[in-house]
Amino acid sequence: MNVCKNCQKRLRLEEDIITLDAENCELCCGLLNHINDYFNIFLNETKEIEFSKFLLGVETIDECFKRDLQTVANLCPECRNFKQEFTFQLGGRIEEVLGKKVDFKEPELTFKINQETGDYSIWIKPIYIAGRYKKMRRGIPQSPWINSAKGREGEKSISEYIGISALKLFRAKDYNFFASGREDVDALMLGNGRPFYVEISKPLIRSADLKELETSIKEYSRNGIEVIGLHLASKEEIEELKNSKYDKVYEVGISLEKEEKSIDEILDKIRNIEIEQQTPNRVLGIRKDKLRKRRIYEVNILKNEGKRLVLIIKAEAGTYIKEFITGDNGRTKPSMSEMLGVNIQIEYLNVLEVN
């Protein structure tokens, strides 16, 4: 049997049953002869990457691995197979020389080798940052506003202000932005902000200062977007955020077509009522037409100047609040317009709370 020195030692083989041959080893098929090469590749490829926990993976040549397992079982059952030996030796060397730690559960970097082709790949664990954003200027869409004919329209989006700032700070390749619901382009998002997370792919830096990120988002958006409570989030927290629904409190400025004397009385009756909303006219092109039932918890008058009012409305997650006010040509029932018997125009809308 042709065997390399490494395999001889690993399986404690007596010299009289083997021939030493580093390249044509019948057990590891030469892999253990290349630990030093892969160590150098690893060193070189990870120079610019910040990580402390790593994992190694080897895709072995089937035929070699099967033969090796058989030999281990026959000659030295307590010995390591060559795949184990490879990761043991290479991993140990990386730990010793670079001061990194092998971690099977949550590696920040994974180095994979294909024995047959000699190819390798490096996977870097993404970083998730969660927090809440506030939108301080109207006209900023949540995601990029692309017109298929004219290209980009309007100003950059919330996702870009946050995502691109994060990319720069973490020296990453790509990002993915997710927020729990969205406000209209012309609405402000105030109060405690809206929950979001951003997934940062292939970050070269993991320990960036999140205070710095807060500052750069604010600067990049020229004070349009503020983020609060930024923190590194676990997969579990992200899953929870994806599935959570939040009730909202809105501030709405409206003007009535004509004054309504008993408006206090009428609005006072709106306590925990159920409304039915057919998909609004304005989004029919992009959303399926269906009926939703939602709750309006309460409506309070903040300011009353006759035909102009400022209301505070608390509504269930997923309520189309503009349509609850205007009635959307009868597609939302009941609506404030219907209850008051007047046409209502919305002057502005701010989201105050997402809870």
Rank residues 14 and 305 by Cβ distance to Zn ion and give the closer one.
14
The H-or-E segment that residue 278 falls in is strand 271-278
In angstroms, what is the minimal distance from the CB of 113 to Zn ion? 15
Size of site (CB under 5 A) for Zn ion: 6
| DSSP bridge pairs for 151 | 147
Rank residues 73 and 146 by Cβ distance to Zn ion and give the closer one.
73
> Judged by CB under 5 A, which stretch of 17-25, 221-229, 295-303, 346-354 contacts Zn ion?
17-25
DSSP 146-173: EETTTEE-SSPPHHHHHHHHHHHHHT-S
In angstroms, what is the minimal distance from the CB of 85 to Zn ion? 9
In angstroms, what is the minimal distance from the CB of 198 to Zn ion? 46
Cβ–Cβ under 8 Å, residues 79 and 70: no
Q: Does 18 bind Zn ion (CB under 5 A)?
A: no
346 phi and psi angles, rounded to 5 deg: -95, 125
Rank residues 4 and 249 by Cβ distance to Zn ion and give the closer one.
4
Q: Does 4 bind Zn ion (CB under 5 A)?
A: yes
Angle at 200 (CA atoms; ends 194, 206), nearest 5 degrees: 110
Whole-angstrom CA distances from 255 to 13, 94, 269, 337 are 92, 69, 20, 11
In angstroms, what is the minimal distance from the CB of 25 to Zn ion? 3
Beta strands 101-102 and 291-305: pairing type? unpaired
- By CB under 5 A, name the one of 11, 13, 18, 28 that touches Zn ion: 28
In angstroms, what is the minimal distance from the CB of 112 to Zn ion? 20
> Judged by CB under 5 A, which stretch of 29-37, 57-65, 175-183, 332-340 contacts Zn ion?
29-37
Cβ–Cβ under 8 Å, residues 294 and 273: no
Q: Is 264 a catalytic residue?
A: no
Instruction: Map tokens 């010995």 to a residue.
Output: 79
Q: Does 130 bind Zn ion (CB under 5 A)?
A: no
Rank residues 79 and 167 by Cβ distance to Zn ion and give the closer one.
79
- By CB under 5 A, name the one of 11, 13, 18, 25 that touches Zn ion: 25
In angstroms, what is the minimal distance from the CB of 67 to Zn ion? 11
Rounded Cα gap, residues 236 and 332, in angstroms: 37
Cβ–Cβ under 8 Å, residues 189 and 211: no
Biggest distance spanned by C-alpha atoms of the chain: 108
Rank residues 10 and 314 by Cβ distance to Zn ion and give the closer one.
10
Q: Does 11 bind Zn ion (CB under 5 A)?
A: no
b/e burial code for range 40-62 (CB count within 10 A of at least 16 → b): ebbeeebeebbbebbbbebebbe
Active-site entry in 62, 119, 174, 184: 184
Note the residue count of the chain.
355
Rank residues 39 and 220 by Cβ distance to Zn ion and give the closer one.
39
Q: Does 32 bind Zn ion (CB under 5 A)?
A: yes
> Judged by CB under 5 A, which stretch of 2-10, 97-105, 278-286, 342-350 contacts Zn ion?
2-10
The contact set with Zn ion (CB under 5 A) reads 4, 7, 25, 27-28, 32
* Catalytic residue IDs: 184
